[in-house]
């Protein structure tokens, strides 16, 4: 169902597929690297883990929490409409994969290709550059892993090992991609390394020196390893930027450009983003050659999400009303967003004292602890997860019934990104935002 697009990417003059209007646009200014840091309205800065830490703006120094956001935009009653299943052009059996890869696809339980997989895999297998507009949870990880595993399997035994580089905005997403890789590459004798902060760098260095085919990591840690002369990307002929707009949003632009510059010139480049902002468009023009453009982006607010506000006058009333929401039937898997790290811990403690199975994640928690909590939430060992925006970026958590903004988001774009964690795959979802009475 691909056809030339004459509007959004006319200046590319390239083969594109159907383009749906992107949900939102990145509105931040471009950071400029100065002495190892970024600057643009006072920067995010990298921690030792390769993840930026964002400084909160003072009450008089820029937009405050909830400033200029019309609370009525958080209210939208939706009538549930059963989503018609996507009818794919291909089955997984149609893709010319190695028999072992077909076995792995069956073993992990993939049935029919998701839209991004259906539309992108053949182009990727033909070695074409691809720009995919897709949200988290649309199946894009398998869309790029499957053809790349097939590609590298054909280079096995060659004198010089070829490398695949996958960049992601957060350590959780990078680790999630590596986990998916291990399942899909089972039996191929391929090795990977997760180059992320918060985990021992010496272990990552040892794995790189032993030889790996897939390097999966966050921009900060990847750059650290390149500058230490440990990571050589000169044999990297395949590059994936997953959630490229999030990496820009988090101040990683210069790291991204630096790292891509270390890869082979004759490479295949795959970009995935939820938006087509001017910054993303510029990077696409700079690094992609005659790309295939594919969009499976959803609308601005997903049609199956029932949105509402809860007005409160005090902290005590706020906690009581949250308690009421969590006790209601149907609140089976709840994701709560808070603005500050310490407030995540405070609320988690208060809810645990009230008998809820709850966990909290934020940037100050150790990686192993965050991974453990996320795994517990995915496996329903806990049913309430409290998180900051940065900690939750890029996570694909299925079957979330409720997203609760316990603190008003700083921007409407942040609100849209948060509530998109529920109401997926045609299921109902609820988004609630606590606002002052």
pLDDT tens-place string over residues 385-403: 999 987 666 667 888 999 9
Among 326-335, 338-347, 415-424, which is the least confidently predicted range? Answer: 415-424
pLDDT of residue 315 exceeding 70, the answer is yes
Among 13-17, 128-132, 148-152, 177-181, which is the least confidently predicted range? Answer: 13-17
Structure tokens at 134: 């897709």
**Cα–Cα distance, 394 to 174 (Å, whole number):** 9
Longest dimension (CA), the chain: 69
Residue-level pLDDT at 86: 75
Structure tokens at 305: 């999400």
Residues written for the chain: 437
Per DSSP, which regions of 40-119 are E strands? 45-46, 52-53
Among 61-70, 237-246, 283-292, which is the least confidently predicted range? Answer: 61-70
Confidence category of residue 428, pLDDT binned at 50, 70, 90? confident
Per DSSP, which regions of 148-266 are E strands? 163-167, 192-195, 214-217, 236-241
Among 74-83, 192-201, 261-270, which is the least confidently predicted range? Answer: 74-83
Confidence category of residue 323, pLDDT binned at 50, 70, 90? very high
**Cα–Cα distance, 211 to 279 (Å, whole number):** 34
Residue-level pLDDT at 296: 85
Mean pLDDT of 49-72: 47
Domain spanning 10-22+85-295: CATH 3.40.50.300: yes
pLDDT of residue 297 exceeding 70, the answer is no
Regarding beta strands 37-39 and 32-34, do their DSSP bridges make them parallel or antiparallel, or are they unpaired? Answer: antiparallel
| Equal CATH topology for 10-22+85-295 and 71-82+301-436 | yes
Confidence category of residue 17, pLDDT binned at 50, 70, 90? very low
Residue-level pLDDT at 334: 97
Which tops the pLDDT comparison, 192 or 368? 192
pLDDT of residue 38 exceeding 80, the answer is no
Residue-level pLDDT at 68: 58
Report residue 244 CA to chain centroid gap.
Answer: 9
Mean pLDDT of 64-74: 66
pLDDT of residue 11 exceeding 60, the answer is no
pLDDT of residue 19 exceeding 50, the answer is no
pLDDT of residue 15 exceeding 70, the answer is no
Domain segments of the chain as ranges: 10-22+85-295, 71-82+301-436
Mean pLDDT of 138-160: 88
Best CATH choice for the domain 71-82+301-436 from the list 3.30.470.20, 3.40.50.300, 3.40.50.720, 3.90.1150.10 = 3.40.50.300
pLDDT of residue 132 exceeding 90, the answer is yes
Which tops the pLDDT comparison, 152 or 55? 152
Q: How many CB atoms lie within 10 A of CB 327?
A: 11
Which tops the pLDDT comparison, 276 or 8? 276
pLDDT of residue 238 exceeding 90, the answer is yes
Average pLDDT value for the chain: 82
- Percent of the chain, pLDDT > 70? 78
Interior/surface letters 104-137, b for 16+ CB within 10 angstroms, e for the rest: bbeeeebeebbbbbbbbbbbbbeebbbbbbbbbb
């Amino acid at each position: 169902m691909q056809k030339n697009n004459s509007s959004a990417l006319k200046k590319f003059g390239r083969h594109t597929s159907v383009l749906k209007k992107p949900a939102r646009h990145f509105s931040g200014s471009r950071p400029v690297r100065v002495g190892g840091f970024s600057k643009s309205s006072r920067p995010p800065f990298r921690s030792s883990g390769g993840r930026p830490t964002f400084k909160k703006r003072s009450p008089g120094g820029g937009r405050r929490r909830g400033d200029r956001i019309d609370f009525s935009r958080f209210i939208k009653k939706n009538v549930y409409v059963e989503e018609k299943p996507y009818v794919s052009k291909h089955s997984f059996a149609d893709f010319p994969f190695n028999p072992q890869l077909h076995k792995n696809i069956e073993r992990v339980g993939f049935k029919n290709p998701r839209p991004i997989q259906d539309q992108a895999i053949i182009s990727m297998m033909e070695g074409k550059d691809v720009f995919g507009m897709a949200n988290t949870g649309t199946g894009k990880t398998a869309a790029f892993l499957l053809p790349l595993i097939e590609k590298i399997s054909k280079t096995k035994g060659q004198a010089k090992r070829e490398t695949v580089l996958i960049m992601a905005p957060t350590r959780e997403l990078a680790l999630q991609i590596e986990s998916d890789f291990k399942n899909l590459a089972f039996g191929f004798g391929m090795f990977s390394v997760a180059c992320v902060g918060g985990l021992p760098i010496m272990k990552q260095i040892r794995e790189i020196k032993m030889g790996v085919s897939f390097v999966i990591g966050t921009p900060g840690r990847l750059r650290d390893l390149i500058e230490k002369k440990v990571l050589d990307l000169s044999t990297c002929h395949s590059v994936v930027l997953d959630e490229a707009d999030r990496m820009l949003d988090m101040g990683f632009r210069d790291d991204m450009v630096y790292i891509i510059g270390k890869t082979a010139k004759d490479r295949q480049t795959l970009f995935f983003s939820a938006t087509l902002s001017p910054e993303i468009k510029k990077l696409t023009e700079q690094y992609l050659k005659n790309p295939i453009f594919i969009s499976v982006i959803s609308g601005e607010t997903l049609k199956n999400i029932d949105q509402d506000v809860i007005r409160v006058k005090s902290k005590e009333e706020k906690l009581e009303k949250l308690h009421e929401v969590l006790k209601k039937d149907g609140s089976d898997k709840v994701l709560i967003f808070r603005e500050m790290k310490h407030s995540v811990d405070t609320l988690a403690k208060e809810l645990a004292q009230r008998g809820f199975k709850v966990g909290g994640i934020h940037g100050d928690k150790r990686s192993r602890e965050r991974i453990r909590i996320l795994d517990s939430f995915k496996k329903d060992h806990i049913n309430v997860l409290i998180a900051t925006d940065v900690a939750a970026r890029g996570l694909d958590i299925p079957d979330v019934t409720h997203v609760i903004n316990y603190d008003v988001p700083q921007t409407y774009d942040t609100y849209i990104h948060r509530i998109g964690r529920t109401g997926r795959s045609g299921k109902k979802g609820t988004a609630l935002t606590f606002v002052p009475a």
